[in-house]
Structure 1
């Protein structure tokens, strides 16, 4: 493309030089020739007037007198009636420019100049025109190279940007080139890069969340299956299988929830559900793991509570808190339910050292962990809670107290707090 731009610019310049240069040469040649003829004519008229004035005054007309009156390199011949002709200067050889005038006393004056003098002047003029044309060509080449670089460098840069996008590097470059059309292309590529970056981030986040969040229900499911393999009691097998099927359903709900949040985190399926059932289910699922670790998990607080949210998401949040207490806490894990205002609160605490002061509320940030874990559990749990209009908070660092706040469903005979707030 650079070569095409240079060639096209040179072609335009050469055409312009050819058209205007030839016209200029023709005009200048005619001007020089006409000027030379006019100069010779003027010289002849001037000599005639000098000769007439001397003849009328009775003065002598001689070559010595007229030699000072003629331009050097020119030849003059004065023919007087009844006298021999007078010649001044040397007669030029070859082609000449000539002018002849007749005086009032009957004399004839002829002035000649060599045509070679005019040819030399025309040659000098042509050299000047040629030099100007060459300068114009050089300037055009420099301008074409600069313009070609100005246009091809951004195109090369844009091609590299597009290649980087295709290779999986979505970082926008935010480069602009001062050419509106190229800047528009750069804007589109940067917008595409940002959009691809967001998509890749969402995909990576979904993969990380899925690998982390599926681990907990799969672990609980594997424990149930182990219980089935070590028992011979049909009733126990039936009971454990029923619980395992329930866990499979919740696992399916977790997967669906993760996919829904990856598309739109604000999309929820909140319903009115029995909070006691979710708490009881989580205690039953995690009790074998705690028993194996020589620890206990207990429940206290107000019962018969109903909340508004997604049961699967709430179960997953509680499972994350219980698993954190199992992995990082110590002693007995207590789950307490209470009511505050128009919200239901589920608190999970243990007897461990808790959250270090340097972490604090940052414990909910992704990749932030104080115990060499992935740091995703609490971050995903908070996202799940917020998707249902609730929130997950760290109420106390030592001993640790995590609290899940959910909208409360009004009891029979009591006004709906959401309706009151809305009114």
Structure 2
């Protein structure tokens, strides 16, 4: 493209120079020839006037006297009646330009000038025109190269940007070139890069969330299946199989929830549900894991609370908090339920050292962890809570107290019971 731009610009300039240059040469040649003829005629008239004046004054008229009156390169013949013709200068050979003038005393003056002088003057003029044309061509080539670089360099940049997008590097360049059409293409590519970056981020986030959220249900399901393989009691097998089926259903719900949130986090299927059922389910699932490390998990607080949300999502949030206490906390883990305003609150606390002071509210950011963990669980838990219209907060750092706030649907009779389950 660069070569085509230079060639096309150069072709246009050459055509313009040819048209105007040839016309200018013709005009200048005619002008020089006409000027030379007028100059010779003027010299003839002037010389005739000098001869006429000297004749009237009875002065001498000869070649010696008139030699200084004839310009170099010119030849003059003065004819006086009754005398021999007087020749001044060297007679030119070849083509000449001549003019004849007559005086008042009957004398005639013929002035000749070689046409080669006109040719030399025309040659000098054509040389000047040629130099100007050459400068114009050089300027045109330089301008064409500059313009070609201005147009082709952005196209090269845009091609590199498109190639980077195709290779999986969606960083926008935010570079503009001062050419509206090219800037429009750059705008579109940058917008596409930002959309691709958002999609890639969403896909990576979905993969990380799925890996983290599915790990615990799959581990629990594996433990149930191992217990089935280790027992010959049919009743135990049925009981464990039923529990495993329930966990498979929750696992399916986790997958559906992750996919739904990856498309639109606001798409929830909130319903009114019994908060106690979700808490007891989590207690039953996590009690074996706590017992295996010599720790306990208990519940207390208001009973028969009706909350608005998605039971599966609430269960995932509580599972993330319980698992966090198991991995990073110590002592007994307590799930306390209470009411504040029109909200039901589930607090999860333990007797561990709590959240380090340097983390604080950043504990919910992705990749932020107090120990060697993924740093995804609490971030996913907060996203799930907010998608259900609730919120997850760190109420106290030491000892740690996490609070899950959900919209509350009060029951027909407000039953308040304080009970601890071990």
Secondary structure of 1:285's counterpart equals helix
Any idea what the Cα deviations from partners look like across 1:289-319, whole Å, max 9, x if unmatched?
1122222211111101100000000000011
Structure 1 equivalent of residue 116 of structure 2 = 116
Mean Cα deviation higher: 79-88 or 38-47: 79-88
Q: Is 1:358–2:366 an aligned residue pair?
A: no
Which stretches in structure 2 are left out of the alignment for 5+ residues? 415-422
Structure 2 equivalent of residue 419 of structure 1 = none
The 5 A counterparts of 1:279-298 are 279-298=279-298
Q: Distance in 2 between matches of 1:289 and 1:225?
A: 15
How far did residue 124 of structure 1 move? 1.1
Q: Distance in 1 between matches of 2:226 and 2:299?
A: 25
Q: Distance in 1 between matches of 2:296 and 2:59?
A: 152
Mean Cα deviation higher: 104-113 or 271-280: 104-113
Q: Distance in 1 between matches of 2:81 and 2:357?
A: 134
The 5 A counterparts of 1:140-179 are 140-179=140-179
The 5 A counterparts of 1:21-420 are 21-412=21-412
Secondary structure of 2:404's counterpart equals strand
Secondary structure of 1:254's counterpart equals helix
Give the TM-score normalised by the residue count of structure 2: 0.95
Q: Distance in 2 between matches of 1:389 and 1:208?
A: 23
Q: Is the 8 A contact 1:338 1:346 kept in 2?
A: yes
Any idea what the Cα deviations from partners look like across 1:208-232, whole Å, max 9, x if unmatched?
0000001111122222222322333
Any idea what the Cα deviations from partners look like across 1:119-154, whole Å, max 9, x if unmatched?
111111111111111111111222222221222111
Q: Is the 8 A contact 1:308 1:408 kept in 2?
A: yes
Q: Distance in 1 between matches of 2:233 and 2:34?
A: 131
Q: Distance in 2 between matches of 1:50 and 1:209?
A: 116
**4+ aligned runs moved over 6 Å, structure 1:** none
Mean Cα deviation higher: 36-45 or 7-16: 7-16
Give the TM-score normalised by the residue count of structure 1: 0.95
Q: Distance in 2 between matches of 1:221 and 1:402?
A: 27
Mean Cα deviation higher: 149-158 or 385-394: 149-158
Q: Distance in 1 between matches of 2:302 and 2:219?
A: 29
Q: Distance in 2 between matches of 1:135 and 1:361?
A: 71
How far did residue 413 of structure 1 move? 6.5
Q: Distance in 1 between matches of 2:97 and 2:132?
A: 30
Q: Is the 8 A contact 2:63 2:87 kept in 1?
A: yes
Q: Is the 8 A contact 2:305 2:410 kept in 1?
A: no
Q: Distance in 1 between matches of 2:13 and 2:162?
A: 35
Residue-pair matches, total: 414
Q: Distance in 2 between matches of 1:233 and 1:353?
A: 43
Q: Distance in 1 between matches of 2:77 and 2:287?
A: 140
Secondary structure of 2:334's counterpart equals strand
Secondary structure of 1:393's counterpart equals strand
Structure 2 equivalent of residue 16 of structure 1 = 16
Q: Distance in 2 between matches of 1:189 and 1:120?
A: 63
Q: Is the 8 A contact 1:216 1:320 kept in 2?
A: no
Q: Distance in 1 between matches of 2:157 and 2:271?
A: 53
CA RMSD of aligned residues (A): 1.4
Q: Distance in 2 between matches of 1:366 and 1:400?
A: 19
Mean Cα deviation higher: 145-154 or 358-367: 145-154
